[in-house]
């Protein structure tokens, strides 16, 4: 049997898997795999990281072996090797230690053979931020087209913190997994190295800063955050209009970066959209590798629900998974919340969830409008009526100038008077991409430079919207 024959078998089963799994799932796991070589009844496949290797072995190895036997007529074993020649879209994962060492660390944690090993594990526990959740790991993070680049970057960082992709900024709407992905990096670093990791929310960082000023302990505060190996700060948008803590963050940022320590941030919008931030701090964020998390597509939503229900030991029928996935597309948090409602029902009532029960229990969830002080729906309605259009015109796909300009204007006003990010606004305006919203906003800004009358028009619309919303 020649190497070419084995490679032909491999290519054939890849075609079959793409059809069986669908583009979303296949793209999340198999597009980065490479046929490396073959030996007698063995094929060796290259993967981008030990994380991907372990996931594929756990989920798909039996399927792969079965398909190889179907196409070849004989039992062929599959082995995986971590490679670093990834495509430009998948950052290379630089593994400092072989996978065997990863497994040994986990084995030591479970069965400490000596006092020294116990002490080493205790040091790791001491270096880990107590605010990080143990279940926020790469293993529990469902990968799809909406987040595959972000996950591969995160894996690369976790393997080699401070060396590649530093600083790292994850942004996107609420409930899309920013905190999970950030803490997955922190948890991996803690489990596989002696690096000190600090995770904090922007609120806690601010509270500690204020307390340090009141207690006269600023040196202790600075030493805590400037002498760590990995600093994770969640939701930096809440630093808006807080110039004192921005100043401290700026100096902490510089101190860690100069020391080649890893900085990781999350935000609900790109740095360019942060308001009331110092320009030099924004410029630091702009230096980061920035990754954008988008709402998951239908296939990924199904995978998230199935994985979560399996981890909870709950039996949720496929038709119920389908129902939730089709009715909730906003974010992962809302998906899990709906699933938890059904799991709680089964646990408390001792009944199996049926499609009818799911429709009844989640009726209010499916029909609930998005709550906001200033509804985007109202903004769209007022602008549409002013231009003799309907809300559906502004949300729809028509691109005539009589519709495009009011649509851009509505997006601009919504961004000005609400806290919605461009990603969230894109969803409100018919599921558009955040880049479309950003383009629309910039277009209105350019017109305002040469047409002062438009500013008066916008202010008039804002007043109408606020009056309508207060009724």
Q: Which CATH number do you get for residue 69?
A: 3.30.300.180
The two tokens of residue 467 are 């009056």
* Residues 175 and 313 placed together within one structural domain of the fold: no
Give the per-residue pLDDT at 361. Answer: 85
CA nearest 154: which of 184, 175, 125, 134?
184
Of the three residues 240, 259, 293, the one that is the final residue of a domain is: 293
* Residues 211 and 150 placed together within one structural domain of the fold: yes
Q: What are the two backbone dihedrals, phi and then psi, of residue 197, each rounded to the nearest 5 degrees?
A: -120, 130
Give the per-residue pLDDT at 368. Answer: 58
Q: Which residues contact 242 (CB under 8 A, 6 or more apart)?
A: 206
Asked if residue 251 has pLDDT above 90, the reply is yes
* Residues 280 and 355 placed together within one structural domain of the fold: no
Residue-wise burial string across 133-150, b where 16 or more C-beta atoms lie within 10 A, e elsewhere:
eeebbbeebbbbbbbbbb
Give the per-residue pLDDT at 462. Answer: 86
* Residues 267 and 327 placed together within one structural domain of the fold: no
Domain span holding position 255: 128-293
User: How far out from the chain centre does Cα 227 lie?
Assistant: 27
Average pLDDT over residues 342-357: 86
The residue that leads in pLDDT, 407 or 147, is: 407
Asked if residue 89 has pLDDT above 70, the reply is no
Give the per-residue pLDDT at 470. Answer: 60
Average pLDDT over residues 308-317: 85
* Residues 171 and 189 placed together within one structural domain of the fold: yes
Of the three residues 318, 340, 367, the one that is the final residue of a domain is: 367
pLDDT-above-70 percentage for the chain: 85
CA nearest 14: which of 84, 68, 88?
68
> From its phi and psi, is residue 260 left (phi > 0), alpha (psi between -120 and 50) or beta?
left
Domain count, the chain: 4
Give the per-residue pLDDT at 107. Answer: 34
| Confidence band, pLDDT 50/70/90 cuts, at residue 130 | low
Average pLDDT over residues 462-468: 81
Which range, 31-40, 394-403, 456-465, has the best average confidence (pLDDT)?
A: 394-403
CA-based max dimension of the chain: 78
Question: Per mean pLDDT, which range of 102-116, 166-180, 453-467 is the poorest?
Answer: 102-116
Question: Per mean pLDDT, which range of 103-107, 301-305, 314-318, 414-418 is the poorest?
Answer: 103-107
216 DSSP 8-state letter: T
Give the per-residue pLDDT at 220. Answer: 92
Average pLDDT over residues 307-333: 85
State in Å, rounded, how far the first CA of the chain is from the last one.
78
Give the per-residue pLDDT at 161. Answer: 93
CATH of the domain at 420: 1.10.1750.10
371 DSSP 8-state letter: P
Give the per-residue pLDDT at 115. Answer: 36
* Residues 147 and 229 placed together within one structural domain of the fold: yes
| Confidence band, pLDDT 50/70/90 cuts, at residue 219 | very high
The residue that leads in pLDDT, 69 or 96, is: 69
The two tokens of residue 77 are 């074993």
Give the per-residue pLDDT at 120. Answer: 47
Query: Is residue 243 situated within a structural domain?
Result: yes
| Confidence band, pLDDT 50/70/90 cuts, at residue 24 | low
* Residues 69 and 162 placed together within one structural domain of the fold: no
Query: Is residue 304 situated within a structural domain?
Result: yes
What 3-state DSSP class applies to 77?
A: strand
| Confidence band, pLDDT 50/70/90 cuts, at residue 102 | very low
Asked if residue 235 has pLDDT above 60, the reply is yes
Question: Per mean pLDDT, which range of 195-199, 244-248, 460-464 is the poorest?
Answer: 460-464
| Confidence band, pLDDT 50/70/90 cuts, at residue 189 | very high
User: What is the total residue count of the chain?
Assistant: 471
Q: What value does the mean pLDDT of the chain take?
A: 81
* Residues 197 and 287 placed together within one structural domain of the fold: yes
Of the three residues 229, 260, 293, the one that is the final residue of a domain is: 293
Q: Are 99 and 50 in contact (CB under 8 A)?
A: yes
Asked if residue 143 has pLDDT above 60, the reply is yes
């Amino acid at each position: 049997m020649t190497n070419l024959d084995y490679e032909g078998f491999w290519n054939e089963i890849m075609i079959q898997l793409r059809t069986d799994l669908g583009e979303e799932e296949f793209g999340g796991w198999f597009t980065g795999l490479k046929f490396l070589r073959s030996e007698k009844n063995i094929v060796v496949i290259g993967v981008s990281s030990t994380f991907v290797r372990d996931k594929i072995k756990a989920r798909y190895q039996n399927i792969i072996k079965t398909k190889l036997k179907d196409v070849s007529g004989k039992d062929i074993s599959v082995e995986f090797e971590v490679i670093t020649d990834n495509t430009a879209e998948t950052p290379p994962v630089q593994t400092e230690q072989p996978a065997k060492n990863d497994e040994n660390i986990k084995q030591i944690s479970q069965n400490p053979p000596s006092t020294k090993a116990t002490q080493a594990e205790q040091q790791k526990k001491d270096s880990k931020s107590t605010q990080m959740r143990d279940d926020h790991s790469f293993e529990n993070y469902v990968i799809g087209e909406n987040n595959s680049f972000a996950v591969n970057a995160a894996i690369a960082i976790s393997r080699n913190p401070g060396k590649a992709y530093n600083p790292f900024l994850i942004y996107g709407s609420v409930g899309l997994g920013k905190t999970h992905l950030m803490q997955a990096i922190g948890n991996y670093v803690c489990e596989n190295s002696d690096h000190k990791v600090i995770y904090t929310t922007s609120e806690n960082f601010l509270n500690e800063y204020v307390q340090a000023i009141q207690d006269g302990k600023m040196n202790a505060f600075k030493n805590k955050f400037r002498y760590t190996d990995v600093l994770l700060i969640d939701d930096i948008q809440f630093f808006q209009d807080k110039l004192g803590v921005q100043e401290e963050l700026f100096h902490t940022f510089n101190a860690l970066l100069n020391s080649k320590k890893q900085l990781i941030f999350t935000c609900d919008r790109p740095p360019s959209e942060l308001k009331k931030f110092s320009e030099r701090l924004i410029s630091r964020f702009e230096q980061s590798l920035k990754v954008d998390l988008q709402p998951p597509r239908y296939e990924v939503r199904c995978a998230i629900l199935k994985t979560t229900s399996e981890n909870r030991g709950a039996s949720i029928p496929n038709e119920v998974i389908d129902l939730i996935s089709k009715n909730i597309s906003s974010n992962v948090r809302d998906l899990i919340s709906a699933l938890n409602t059904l799991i709680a029902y089964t646990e408390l009532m001792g009944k199996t969830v049926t499609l009818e029960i799911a429709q009844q229990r989640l009726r209010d969830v499916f029909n609930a409008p998005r709550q906001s002080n200033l509804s985007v729906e109202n903004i769209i309605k007022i602008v549409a009526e002013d231009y003799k259009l309907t809300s559906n015109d502004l949300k729809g796909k028509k691109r005539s100038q009589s519709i495009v300009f009011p649509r851009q204007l509505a997006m601009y006003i919504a961004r000005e008077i609400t806290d919605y990010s461009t990603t969230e606004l894109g969803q409100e305006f018919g599921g558009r991409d955040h880049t479309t919203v950003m383009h629309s906003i910039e277009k209105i800004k350019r017109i305002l430079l040469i047409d002062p009358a438009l500013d008066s028009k916008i202010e008039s619309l804002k007043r109408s919207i606020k009056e309508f919303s207060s009724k």
